[in-house]
């Protein structure tokens, strides 16, 4: 721990102990990731930042003011301090935290045998980076009070009197969907639809719902980039649920006019992998009338390269009762078809968003990915196709479904299943031949 981190932790503990001098032993617990590191092996370093973000989110969902969570710098561990008796048994709370972290990191099945480090510590025994609590408090100008017996009840401290650590993220309340979601632009998030093309059949088969925000200069940003905090999975969860509501409203209107129509909505992996956020999404899915579910596809978007197949199987099982089909997508930089083995997902998408490859490099990558997906017995889907030439190359390399601005511009309402216009097909063929 750095000297600055030691001083900050010491200051925080000094303030806390001035308010709560009779904390029982069970009120202080530490959660660490040593066992996760051992289980993941070499994959841990590649997933480190993603795992830390997930752990912070999970802990912040369970540790509510005036209780505290303190991330110990450079330790991959958190000190949890429980001071509010009405929040329930700290051991039960930590059990839930441990289970969610384990499920996130290694999947449902492997999590059953994974032990997340969870030592219970007394005040006088607390160590961080080999430093005792006494040493930390001495640096902060304080001292350790006598440890209270375990049976001593903890006193309740008003939330405003309990210091919140600067080294722990602020917990954002997210118990309901807001009326609108604010974005980087001055306006609210809009929802548009992008037709998905079945390349062999040359038909529009579904409509992907995307959240966008228009910037003052006329440009637009989309999906997670339209949000103020794209790494805040509570906010991403709001966006996913909002897209679902918009899509179901449009679908209901279209079916009322006897149109054969399908819509695709995104459920971003990080926003539904934790049980709490997923429960909100599935609760909303449960409100969809049965006759609409047959026209809904769900795309698990942003699947990381090292995602456990068990996690994907768990998500597919949770969503399957509410839709006609489930598929998944990854950024081109994270492409790894191995994560879909035994997941029950048979259609896999690749996103070209923010792809910096040249057209020749991209052609080689599409051939490699198309071949890998075919060998794995998976149908393929390419997103964010922004030129007709790329559309043609993707179709040549076995990508069955294509979606992007090259097919059709953003539209305010989804379109029915229909053949692609002949002029588009001709233009794509010409572009592939090098004449367009």
Each residue of 273-282: pLDDT tens digit? 888 888 889 9
Separation of CA 57 from chain center: 10
Separation of CA 83 from chain center: 30
Concatenate the DSSP letters of all residues of 15-65 into one string: HHHHH-TT--GGGEEEEE-HHHHHHHTTHHHHHHHHHHHHHHHHHHHH--T
Q: Average pLDDT in the 302-324 region?
A: 89
Tokens of 199: 């390349």
Q: What is the mean pLDDT of the chain?
A: 74
Question: What's the number of CA atoms in the CB half-sphere (13 Å) around residue 427?
Answer: 12
361, 393 in Cβ contact below 8 A?
A: no
Domain 3-147 classification at class level: alpha beta
pLDDT (tens digit, 9 = 90+) per residue, 194-216? 999 898 888 889 999 999 887 76
Would you state the pLDDT for residue 168? Answer: 24
What is the domain partition of the chain in residue ranges?
3-147, 190-432
Instruction: Give the global pTM.
Output: 0.60
The domain covering 190-432 belongs, at the CATH homologous superfamily level, to EAL domain (3.20.20.450)
The more confidently predicted of residues 167 and 16 is 16
Does residue 328 sit in helix, strand or coil? Answer: strand
């Amino acid at each position: 721990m750095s000297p600055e981190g030691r001083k900050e932790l010491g200051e925080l503990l000094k303030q806390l102990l001035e308010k709560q001098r009779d904390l029982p032993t069970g009120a202080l617990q530490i959660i660490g990731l040593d066992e996760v590191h051992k289980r993941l092996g070499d994959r841990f370093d590649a997933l480190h930042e993603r795992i830390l973000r997930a752990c912070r989110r999970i802990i912040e969902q369970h540790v509510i003011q005036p209780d505290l969570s303190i991330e110990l710098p450079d330790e991959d561990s958190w000190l949890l301090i429980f001071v509010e008796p009405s929040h329930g048994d700290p051991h039960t709370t930590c059990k839930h935290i441990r289970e969610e972290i384990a499920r996130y990191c290694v999947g449902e099945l492997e999590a059953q045998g994974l032990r997340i480090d969870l030592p219970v510590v007394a005040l006088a025994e607390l160590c961080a980076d080999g430093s005792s609590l006494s040493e930390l408090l001495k640096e902060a100008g304080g001292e350790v009070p006598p440890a209270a017996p375990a049976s001593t009840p903890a006193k309740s401290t008003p939330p405003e009197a309990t210091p919140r650590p600067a080294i722990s993220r602020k917990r954002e309340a997210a118990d309901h969907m807001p009326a609108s979601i604010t974005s980087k632009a001055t306006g609210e998030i809009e929802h548009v639809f992008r037709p998905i093309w079945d390349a062999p059949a040359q038909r529009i088969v579904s409509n992907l719902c995307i959240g966008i925000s228009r910037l003052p200069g006329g440009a637009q940003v989309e999906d997670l980039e339209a949000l103020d905090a794209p790494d805040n999975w509570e906010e991403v969860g709001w966006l996913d649920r909002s897209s679902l509501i918009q899509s179901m409203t449009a679908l209901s209107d279209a079916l009322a006019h006897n149109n054969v129509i399908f819509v695709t909505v995104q459920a971003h992996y990080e926003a539904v992998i934790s049980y709490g956020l997923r429960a909100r999404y599935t609760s909303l899915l449960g409100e969809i009338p049965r006759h609409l579910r047959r026209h809904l596809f769900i795309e698990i978007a942003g699947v990381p390269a090292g995602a456990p197949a068990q996690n994907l199987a768990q998500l597919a099982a949770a969503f399957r009762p509410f839709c006609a089909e489930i598929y998944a997508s990854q950024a081109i930089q994270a492409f790894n078809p191995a994560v879909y083995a035994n997941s029950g997902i048979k259609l896999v998408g690749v996103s070209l968003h923010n792809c910096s490859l040249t057209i020749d490099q991209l052609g080689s990558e599409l051939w490699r990915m198309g071949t890998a997906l075919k060998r794995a017995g998976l149908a393929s889907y390419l997103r964010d196709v922004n030129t007709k030439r790329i559309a043609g190359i993707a179709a040549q390399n076995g990508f069955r479904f294509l979606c992007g601005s090259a097919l059709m511009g953003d539209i305010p309402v989804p379109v029915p299943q229909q053949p692609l216009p002949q002029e588009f097909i001709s233009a794509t063929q010409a572009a592939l031949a090098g004449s367009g």
